[in-house]
Structure 1
Amino acid sequence: MQSMVQPGSQAEQVGRLVLAVAVVIFLPSLPFGTYLIYPFAILTTWFHEMGHGLMAIAMGQEFDRLMIYADGSGVAESRLDMDVSRFTRAMIAAGGPLGPVLAGSGLIVASAHQRLWRPVLWGTAGVIFASVIIYVRSPVGYAVLPLVAAAVSLIAWKASDGVARFTLQFLGILGAMSMLRDFNYLFTEEAVIGGERILSDTGAIEAALVLPHWVWAAAILVISAVSVGASLRYALSDKRRIRIVPKRPANVLQFKRSPRDKR
């Protein structure tokens, strides 16, 4: 007997994404919700700081270490050449706020393809584990990030397709909506992180490229909105309705008969 392939409806796909958005937005308001969302707040900070670090590497500089503090703030420390250009400095600063959004958009796009669900979850967990070994140098990072990576690995290994897909969407929405969490920070020229007052990301871009920090904040929000909107449109396209193929039990035999075999 052959299993039938059932296409996921558009309403179901929208519903799952809406549920992921609702969890991200409303979970902190529930009793103990702040504690439940805490590991994911740390993960969002990890996305942000890794954005700085990976952009530094992409621009030919060195990424030294990543610090995450108990209040959810963080710092990515990079070593820059003495003659590094203003453009390079600005790009490294912009990598932080854009990093989570671009990563989240990529996860949302991946959720549109069933064959990518588990590989992308495995890959996400692997990158988190690797970053803890190579870059993370703070107690909070050591304590929280391996647990998040282990949970993602367990879901990729054991969870049903529906749970795997929802996890991918949840992580994507979490990263994509970081622009709302960082809204005030984007429009702040300076911030206190780890007890030290430093330039914010947009403040650093202003120092490198002259224009006021709020101009760069607005530009980052526009880029973020376009990226998230495009990824959601892709994932919810009628042409890409998810078709979940049930796994055939190992002890079930399938027989096929050609039309000419009929008597």
Structure 2
Amino acid sequence: MNNKSKPVVEPKPVVVPAKWGLPYAEEPTQPEQSYIIAIAVVTILAWQTDIGTLALMPFTMLATWYHEMGHGLAAIFLGAHFEQLVISADGSGYAQFSSADNLWGLERALVAAAGFFGSTAAGCALIIASRRKLATQLALAALGAALLITTLIWVRSLTGWIILPAFGMAAIWIAFSRRRKLQRFAVEFLGVQGAISVWQDLDYMFSDSAAHAGSDTGKIADVLLLPHWFWGGAISIGVIALVWWSLNYASKIDA
């Protein structure tokens, strides 16, 4: 009779990722800490000051590109013709499209809102892509290609011709490099710029057309009657929900 006791096998501990750790799915036992929340908070606060806006000016221009492309693509989808996108040296910009008079009131409101939700959706897609290495590389390459292609087709300003291709080529270079940590940080950082670009200028978002010429919330209010501050608040709630969902989805190991 063999009295030797069998070795006790200790169960492997369950690894719980840090909140917003956004671990790569291929390496679920090695969650990496993310700084998305810190990046978002610092960026929003910096945008509300002159010094911060100046320091982040290239990224402010990128946020403007996100926003104006949302307008332009929505206009195309609804039957208008997207003519040009202009980005100024101070970070402001606009999207110009023809046949706007053919759009119904609700369609014009959707085009106005698309600047907010389009940029947020693009940013959230990058945040979700940060969860997988291959998705991170593809997302950076796609963003870089989009920046280069849209510059050729629609951008009509010297500032845009300089800044946007620079971002595009940098994103593509990072996508094809072997620097995994840099890829992860880049996709998170650029995703945040899109996701929170809605708060780039709070004065603009919560102003009507009279107080702030042609504000998007003012245009929505002109069509849908409720005051501009209501739409500014409603859009903010929708954006927060979308960003929150993307962060929770990206942080799941088994998503």
* TM-score of Structure 1 vs Structure 2, range by shorter chain: 0.7 to 0.9
Question: 2:47·2:200 contact (CA, 8 Å) conserved in 1?
Answer: no
* Cα distance in 2, alignment partners of residues 153 and 182 from structure 1: 29
Identify which of 54, 61, 65 aligns with 2:80: 61
- Measured at CA, do residues 128 and 207 of structure 1 come closer, stay the same or move farther in structure 2, by a change above 3 Å? same
- Measured at CA, do residues 235 and 68 of structure 1 come closer, stay the same or move farther in structure 2, by a change above 3 Å? same
Long gaps (5+) in structure 1 = 241-263
TM-score (norm 2): 0.81
Instruction: Count the aligned residue pairs.
Output: 228
Bigger relative CO (Cα 8 Å, ≥ 6 apart)? 1
SS at match of 2:96: strand
1:228 aligns with 2:243: yes
Q: For residues 6-155 of structure 1, what are the structure 2 equivalents within 5 Å?
A: 6-7=27-28, 9-10=30-31, 12-13=32-33, 15-18=34-37, 20-21=39-40, 24=43, 36-80=55-99, 82-155=101-174
Residue 231 of structure 2 corresponds to which residue in structure 1?
216
Residue 247 of structure 1 corresponds to which residue in structure 2?
none
Residue 216 of structure 2 corresponds to which residue in structure 1?
201
Identity %: 37
* Cα distance in 2, alignment partners of residues 46 and 178 from structure 1: 10
Shift in Å at residue 225 of structure 1? 0.5
User: What's the RMSD between the two structures over aligned residues?
Assistant: 2.4
Residue 244 of structure 1 corresponds to which residue in structure 2?
none
Long gaps (5+) in structure 2 = 1-25
Shift in Å at residue 19 of structure 1? 5.1
Residue 207 of structure 2 corresponds to which residue in structure 1?
188
Q: Which has the higher strand share?
A: 1
Question: 1:185·1:191 contact (CA, 8 Å) conserved in 2?
Answer: no
* Cα distance in 2, alignment partners of residues 167 and 160 from structure 1: 11
SS at match of 2:70: helix
* Cα distance in 2, alignment partners of residues 206 and 28 from structure 1: 25
Deviation digits for residues 165-214 of structure 1 (CA, Å, limit 9, x no counterpart): 1111111111112233232211101379xxxx732001111112222111
Shift in Å at residue 83 of structure 1? 3.6
